[in-house]
Amino acid sequence: MTKTEDPIPGITWTQLQTVLEHLAETPAKKTMVKHLVAATRKQSPFLPPETSIKEIIYIGAALLDVRFQPSDSDLNTSDASSLSSPSRPSSPW
């Protein structure tokens, strides 16, 4: 049995993306996973580990929210397409 102080088992960003894609019920959500994981990965070196984990949990929660139903056209808006844009200011939230 592991202790509460033991670290969580490691996972690669690719493995995380695969896990989250399995939670995505629509093609639009699967596409969003790719962008959201990439954005979180790029921010993670500048954030405390707890903040990166929180971002990952938020992604999972959004994917599981049955009321959140993005369409493919939502992915073409400037906000969605700039998720991984280097010109977008980084924010821990």
* Domain-embedded: residue 2: no
What is the per-residue pLDDT across 33-70, written as a single tens digit (0 to 9) for each? 999 999 999 999 999 999 999 999 999 999 999 888 88
Question: Do the domain assignments include residue 56?
Answer: yes
Enter the pTM of the model.
Answer: 0.72
Q: Does residue 88 lie within any of the structural domains? A: no
Whether 57 is covered by a domain: the verdict is yes
The answer to whether residue 93 is domain-embedded is no
Task: Please check the confidence at residue 89 and state whether its pLDDT lies above 80.
Answer: no
Residue ranges making up the domain that contains 43: 13-68
Reduced 3-state DSSP string for the chain? CCCCCCCCCCCCHHHHHHHHHHHCCCHHHHHHHHHHHHHHHHHHHHCCHHHHHHHHHHHHHHHHCCCCCCCHHHHHCHHHHCCCCCCCCCCCC
For residue 6, tell me if it sits in a domain.
Answer: no
Residue 22 in any domain: the answer is yes
Give the confidence band of 85 by pLDDT, cuts at 50, 70, 90. very low
pLDDT tens digits for range 20-36: 999 999 999 999 999 99
Number of domains in the chain: 1
Q: Does residue 81 form part of some domain? A: no
pLDDT of res. 54: 97
